[in-house]
Amino acid sequence: MTHSGNIVSRRLLLGAALAAPAIIAARAQSKPGITDDLVKAAQKDGTLSYYHNSDIGPTGLWTDAFAKRFGLQMKNMRLPSYPLFDRFLNESRVGRHLADLVQITDPTLLAYANRLGFIADYTPAGGAMIPGDLKQEGIWYGLFTDPMGIGYNSKTVTPEEEKLIQTGGWNALADPRWKGRFGTATPASGGSSYAFCYMFLVTLRAQYGKPWFSKLAANAPDIYASKAPLFERLAAGEYTLMDQGSAGTLSDYYLKGAPIRWSFPAPTPIALTSQSITKNAPHPAAARLFQEWSTTAEGQAEWLKYSIAGATRPDVVDPRHAGKLDWFKEPWFHEPTEFYTAYLKDEAFADPKKPIIAEWNEIFNYQSGKKG
């Protein structure tokens, strides 16, 4: 596997975005997929059951906006990525079909569910605007992107250390000065953590691989079974820095006033929030309508009102980015220069046995969900 084939230039994703108007009035664009017949059929369904792994607050507001717009009732169920997917799988296997749509951060699992016959073949009109590497046509569509970098607590680093984090690339994480000050999450915790570790252990194995992770392990990090609580502990000052720092969550803490900053070493892995319609959706028309709306500029722009993750449509730009607001105006903030998304098309990544978890556990001496 070569490095070059797996790195997507930033230009590909953000170039088009910057060239587009700030936020397009999207209703006109969305109309081709959202037909009167579909809306009527969805309203006849009446309800939509949405299995997701996103933050319940923003997701609730986003789905409420959809429900109000089309006169439907939303039923959201939130669980962490893997338990959610497993629940959907078990329900599908016994023929108990409750979910209309499933949204998780590991789209390869959606592809796996498709191979099992649990995913509907549907192509929303807005899907054409989503870059090819962020979707599997007819199966799953990436809705939001979230770059992952190094997050750090600005109150607990010296200026020299901050410089190292900002300019030292990924090797900055391996510096022994972080011993006892570093927190990380197991790749078994979720799709984004797995994608992050996959880049270093598989795609960039020659450059980083086991020796690099061994240096991280030598810093005796606290290992979290779920990544999300790590952000809170970083903000509280329990740790100085973390890897797998999702920009969406870090910037949320920044907006709340926490002393949180971050850097995006190159290449920057992208976590992709992806969505599929289930094969036996109890409300199929409502499910199609929601996917149509989710993939329109209107639906994606609506999401940006409540959350910070980026839209996958290049014509939808975060107004904060366009207006140089919030962290975009900070002197320490630097845009990522190149993105890593190629894992999404890597068949080995989709191996449901997730073999790199075992290797990672061995490097960090982390067994049976516990430190060894």
Partner 1 sequence: MTRALLPWLLIPLLTVLILVPVGFMFLGAFMSGALADPEAHLTLSKVAAVYTTLPFLRTLGSTLVIAFLVAIAATLGGVTMAWLTSRTDLPARPIMETCIIAPLFLSPFVGAIAWLVLGSPRAGLLNVIARAWFGTTGAVVNVATPSGIVLIMALYYLPYAYLTVAAALRNMDPSMEEAACVNGSGILGTALKVTLPVVRPALISAFFFIFVLACGTFAIPAVLDRASQVRFLAVDVFQASATYPIDYGTAAAIGTLLFWISVMGIAAYRFASRAARRFVTVTARGYRIRLVRLRWLRWPMAGLVGVYVVLSIVLPYLALVWSAFARAGGTIFAPVWTLANARGVLTSAEVAGATVNTLEVGLITPTLCVGLGLLIAYAVRRLRVPASNAIDYITMFSIAVPGIVFGTGVFWTYVLTPAYGTIAVLVLAFVAAYVPFAYRISDTALLQIDRALEEASLLCGAGNGRTLLRITLPLARPALLSAWIMVFIFAVREISAAVLLTSSDNVVLSVLSFNYLDFGDVPKAAVVGLLQTALLAAGVIAGRYVFRVKLSSQV
- Could you list the residues that contact partner 1 (CB under 8 A)? 49-50, 55-57, 60, 64, 75-80, 82-83, 86, 89-91, 93-96, 98, 183, 186-190, 194, 222-226, 228-233, 235-239, 249, 253, 256-259, 352-354, 357, 366-372
Q: Cβ 196 to partner 1, closest distance in Å? A: 14
Note the Cα 299 to chain centre separation in Å.
17
Contacts (Cβ under 8 Å, ≥6 apart) of 20: 314, 315, 316, 317
Pairing between β-strand 310-311 and β-strand 140-153 as defined by DSSP bridges: antiparallel
Q: Cβ 90 to partner 1, closest distance in Å? A: 5
Contact 9, 246 (CB under 8 A): no
- Phi and psi, residue 345, nearest 5°: -110, 10
Before 131, cis peptide (omega within 30)? no
Distance between CA atoms of 56 and 60, rounded to whole angstroms?
6
Question: Which burial class, exposed, middle or buried, applies to 59 when counting CB atoms under 10 A from its CB (0-12, 13-18, 19+)?
Answer: buried
- Phi and psi, residue 320, nearest 5°: -65, -35
Two structure tokens written together for 45? 């369904």
Distance between CA atoms of 355 and 159, rounded to whole angstroms?
39
With CA atoms as reference, report the closest residue to 299 among 139, 98, 109, 103.
103
- At residue 192, the 3 state secondary structure works out as helix
Contact 71, 45 (CB under 8 A): no
- At residue 45, the 3 state secondary structure works out as helix
Q: Cβ 119 to partner 1, closest distance in Å? A: 17
Q: Cβ 233 to partner 1, closest distance in Å? A: 7
Q: Cβ 268 to partner 1, closest distance in Å? A: 21
Instruction: Name the residue nearer to partner 1 (CB basis): 86 or 121.
Output: 86
| Rg from Cα positions in the chain | 20
DSSP state of 99: -
Q: Cβ 30 to partner 1, closest distance in Å? A: 25
Contact 245, 150 (CB under 8 A): yes
Q: Cβ 72 to partner 1, closest distance in Å? A: 13
Q: Cβ 361 to partner 1, closest distance in Å? A: 11
With CA atoms as reference, report the closest residue to 357 among 197, 148, 243, 170.
197
Instruction: Name the residue nearer to partner 1 (CB basis): 200 or 224.
Output: 224
Q: Cβ 204 to partner 1, closest distance in Å? A: 21
Instruction: Name the residue nearer to partner 1 (CB basis): 40 or 93.
Output: 93
Instruction: Name the residue nearer to partner 1 (CB basis): 271 or 316.
Output: 271
Where b means 16+ CB within 10 Å and e means fewer, 194-218 reads bbbbbbbbbbbbeebeeebbebbbe
Q: Cβ 232 to partner 1, closest distance in Å? A: 4
Instruction: Name the residue nearer to partner 1 (CB basis): 182 or 339.
Output: 182
